[in-house]
């Protein structure tokens, strides 16, 4: 399984996951992220934002401690990803409703 296909499988499973599963998926992506090529790292960053939004939708604290610091660093590195990912997530939510 390639890193990209692994990230895709996480994204697919995330839609119906409960908060605890989403936290495990977030942890897995954060562990994998440093080893990824630039293109896959950008996808991983977007996926982290999506996982965070799914967790927030369940009204739970998204990340804490070291993982929150890593997530914040991603947001600082790629501020345009936030807008792009949130727009894509909003479009998905509108088309699903």
Task: For the full predicted model, state whether its pTM sits above 0.75.
Answer: no
Tokens linked to 64:
């804490």
- As a whole number, mean pLDDT of residues 17-21 equals 89
State the average pLDDT over residues 9-33. 92
User: Are 77 and 33 within 8 A, CB to CB?
Assistant: no
* Residues in Cβ contact with 47 at an 8 Å cutoff, skipping those fewer than 6 apart: 7, 10, 11, 14, 29
Q: Is 60 exceeded by the pLDDT of residue 17?
A: yes
Give pLDDT tens digits for 35-92.
Answer: 999 999 999 999 999 999 998 888 644 555 666 677 677 766 766 666 666 555 555 5
**Strands (E) located in 15-90:** none
**pLDDT at residue number 16:** 86
Q: Which residues contact 19 (CB under 8 A, 6 or more apart)?
A: 55, 58, 60
Quote the pLDDT of residue 73.
Answer: 73
- H or E element, residue 73: helix 65-77
């Amino acid at each position: 399984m390639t890193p990209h296909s692994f990230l895709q499988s996480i994204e697919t499973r995330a839609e119906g996951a409960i908060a605890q599963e989403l936290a495990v998926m977030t942890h897995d992506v954060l562990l994998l992220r440093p080893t990824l090529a630039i293109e896959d790292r950008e996808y991983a960053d977007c996926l982290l934002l999506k996982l965070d939004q799914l967790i927030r939708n369940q009204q739970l604290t998204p990340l804490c401690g070291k993982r929150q610091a890593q997530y914040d660093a991603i947001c600082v590195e790629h501020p345009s990803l936030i807008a792009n990912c949130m727009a894509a997530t909003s479009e998905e939510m509108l088309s699903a409703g």
